[in-house]
Structure 1
């Protein structure tokens, strides 16, 4: 695929090299713009480390924001003075593959401001609709919303640029949920740009139910779909109705019982406060994880990233790719607050515990990749953390190939089918043969990930 990155002349390169400030040990130090392999840029006060990575302080003009850029992610380093001539098309931006190197409480608003700088240099013939069109408000399907109101038994509605919500609870909670959903929308638009995918604009605003109680949530599923969700479902997206469904997590019966226990007579005030705080942290965690996972599916199917039957066994897209990609947008509460591909410590914990002592060699991994039966039968245990680990590896270690793979599958119709042999050949086309050496590299990557127990949701049951 064509790239539109600018290229320095030989003279400009020599000038940049000769004028670059260096420390006594020959490493770069000073004001630089780093042009990344994916076309994004990050600039600031740069210090090159002995391992070849770069520490960038005050990244993209944000005082106090420090990021680390790995050597393998760098296409070019240009002094700020020469940067204007280095790449006319480039503008400051922070690669989503860059991780924070300084512990600091960053607000969502700050992250959004940084994300606004990301601008992929895409082949104009392959971008589909323009980014401005993806961010422009979607039209409202009045008839469909009227049906939602009837089924929910509530005429309370909230409308944002890309979503419409019918809800039965407090206005404040509904507004907070819609704010989070709009953030997930923006991150997905950024994801499309980063992977140079030909975006599709949905026909209408995406429709959301938000119920005040778990009982309302369960009753609606029974009435609208004839489905029982009382067995622990915390939220879901239905491709057939093209709607997502959530509820106030504090009303989930096991949670409600714990909150009630905290207020019972005889419970010391200190113990009650501690229990309520623990329960509230669990609710906060689940609100982020569940909402962003299901909203990820909702958005992905409506912008054409995956076919509408992507969650079905017969889909032409492997289930691990659909779920694993969605889990790139699923993150626990932490000081960064957001990020595509942020380490999900819960999934990492589940993966390590689940696969400890289990022999998953090349043959087992190949079956997981090409045969969705493995996913649906949980043949290797709980499939989600395995799918997360696989996509996390491809996203972090094989970013360009992952992008090419996504462009290959983008926009496939629901009736598209592949044999296992074809699916294996397609995977190997981008990521190589799944043999013992491949699995060894994958396992080494997962083992390098730093697990932080403090990022797990608290245990309340």
Structure 2
């Protein structure tokens, strides 16, 4: 009944008393969920016809489209493409602000960025990207980001998989020095650990990095081989603060390519921005696109897979897993993220190898698997059994046989 009244009133406001005890808080949460259920159902059918709503708490007001919710929290996407988490027991009032949610246009977002960063920065647009960078550098960076985007789409298109167009402009911030970058990290709630060169934050939907004084950048350069990947659990916040994917050490170009791959994948419907996607799925794809051969249109169609390998990951995988005594790892790797915490460099190599193997030998099944993982409820725990079930549904019930084929593939890849 409450949900029906809210729909009929359109823009009218339904005010709720501020909770004074747990009982009232629970009633408010239940009332909010009724209205949010209607909005969420519409959202899943067609985003273009989803209403925009406003939720007010004692501290803030959030306006946008609901993308997911449960009895405790909901995630709202605002017109700039930023995700906000709202605890339903804290909601004091809610209303529908528009019958249709409308994202800001590229020009509107560009104007906001110009006002936000002032005269010391330029804002350049190219393709789907808007890049904020020190004066005189933005166009060069925008060209590189756009190149990654085009390569990403082409790679999947060649394999018969059309990815979604981003709903919002893709924003990248390039700061002039470490000090300015660190200040922005603090604003995002990110600890600027030593060696952090850049990151993509799923809640703001922005890439942030800094220019260490490189005079030129381009897609054709060979990636730096002396990168150091650290334990993701140290720098990736929990879902309440937003999911962050970072690049530590390595060249500026490496950072741009890796973080742009994350950003594009999250905005192309391959990963869920609210969280829950296995680390190997996210980082494996990021590592695949580090290879210049993947981004080269001619090599991406070449029958010789060696032209597309990530050499750094390939060498480690060969030495640590292929040449060693076979150990059944695929089930535990797919079922959890523990290796990324206990054996980080090995996990990055294994994740790259598994992703490369699946995209090269089973592109249709891999695409279907990405869609399945991205479409699941991100607020529901993704258990080991559930992960393995989705993996089996995509690639077959016999995981042990697949692992044998996986290792044989790399024994023959020379």
The TM-score normalised by the length of structure 2 is 0.57
Cα distance in 2 for partners of 1:360, 1:246 equals 40
Higher-Rg member (1/2):
1
Judged with a 3 Å threshold, the aligned counterparts in structure 2 of structure 1 residues 404 and 176 are, in CA distance, closer, same or farther, namely: same
Q: 2:269 aligns with which of 299, 304, 316?
A: 304
Question: Is 2:353 aligned against 1:389?
Answer: yes
**Equivalence for 2:108:** 142
Q: 1:374 aligns with which of 336, 339, 350?
A: 339
**Equivalence for 1:237:** 200
- Residue 207 of structure 1 and its aligned partner are, at CA, apart by 0.8
Check whether the contact 2:133–2:175 (CA below 8 A) recurs between aligned residues.
Answer: yes
- DSSP-derived class of the 1:309 partner: coil
- After the TM superposition, which of the residue ranges 405-414 and 206-215 deviates more from structure 2? 405-414
Check whether the contact 1:324–1:391 (CA below 8 A) recurs between aligned residues.
Answer: yes
- Residue 181 of structure 1 and its aligned partner are, at CA, apart by 1.2
Check whether the contact 1:151–1:220 (CA below 8 A) recurs between aligned residues.
Answer: no
**Equivalence for 1:323:** 283
- Residue 324 of structure 1 and its aligned partner are, at CA, apart by 1.4
Check whether the contact 2:161–2:364 (CA below 8 A) recurs between aligned residues.
Answer: no
Cα distance in 1 for partners of 2:164, 2:223 equals 40
Cα distance in 2 for partners of 1:278, 1:409 equals 32
- Residue 167 of structure 1 and its aligned partner are, at CA, apart by 1.1
Q: How many residues align?
A: 282
- DSSP-derived class of the 1:157 partner: strand
Check whether the contact 2:151–2:297 (CA below 8 A) recurs between aligned residues.
Answer: no
- DSSP-derived class of the 1:290 partner: helix
- Residue 449 of structure 1 and its aligned partner are, at CA, apart by 2.6
- Residue 236 of structure 1 and its aligned partner are, at CA, apart by 1.1
**Equivalence for 1:78:** none
- Residue 385 of structure 1 and its aligned partner are, at CA, apart by 1.3
Question: Is 2:374 aligned against 1:448?
Answer: no
Question: Is 2:125 aligned against 1:159?
Answer: yes
Question: Is 2:211 aligned against 1:248?
Answer: yes
Deviation readout 1:6-37 (Å, 9 max, x if unpaired): xxxxxxxxxxxxxxxxxxxxxxxxxxxxxxxx
Q: 2:327 aligns with which of 351, 361, 366?
A: 361
**Equivalence for 2:255:** 290
- After the TM superposition, which of the residue ranges 146-155 and 200-209 deviates more from structure 2? 146-155
Judged with a 3 Å threshold, the aligned counterparts in structure 2 of structure 1 residues 359 and 409 are, in CA distance, closer, same or farther, namely: same
**Equivalence for 1:101:** none
Check whether the contact 1:288–1:333 (CA below 8 A) recurs between aligned residues.
Answer: no
Judged with a 3 Å threshold, the aligned counterparts in structure 2 of structure 1 residues 168 and 413 are, in CA distance, closer, same or farther, namely: farther
- Residue 299 of structure 1 and its aligned partner are, at CA, apart by 1.0
Check whether the contact 1:167–1:174 (CA below 8 A) recurs between aligned residues.
Answer: yes
**Equivalence for 2:165:** 201
**Equivalence for 2:247:** none
Q: What does 1:208-287 align with in structure 2 at a 5 Å threshold? A: 208-222=172-186, 224-250=187-213, 286-287=251-252
Cα distance in 1 for partners of 2:141, 2:331 equals 39
Judged with a 3 Å threshold, the aligned counterparts in structure 2 of structure 1 residues 440 and 192 are, in CA distance, closer, same or farther, namely: closer
Cα distance in 2 for partners of 1:352, 1:414 equals 34
Question: Is 2:303 aligned against 1:343?
Answer: no
Q: 1:352 aligns with which of 292, 306, 318?
A: 318
Q: Which runs of 5+ in 2 are unaligned?
A: 1-46, 49-103, 216-220, 228-249
Deviation readout 1:359-381 (Å, 9 max, x if unpaired): 5622x221011112333x23475
**Equivalence for 1:190:** 154
Specify which structure has the higher proportion of strand: 2
Q: Which runs of 5+ in 1 are unaligned?
A: 1-127, 130-137, 253-276, 451-461
Q: 1:420 aligns with which of 384, 406, 412?
A: 384
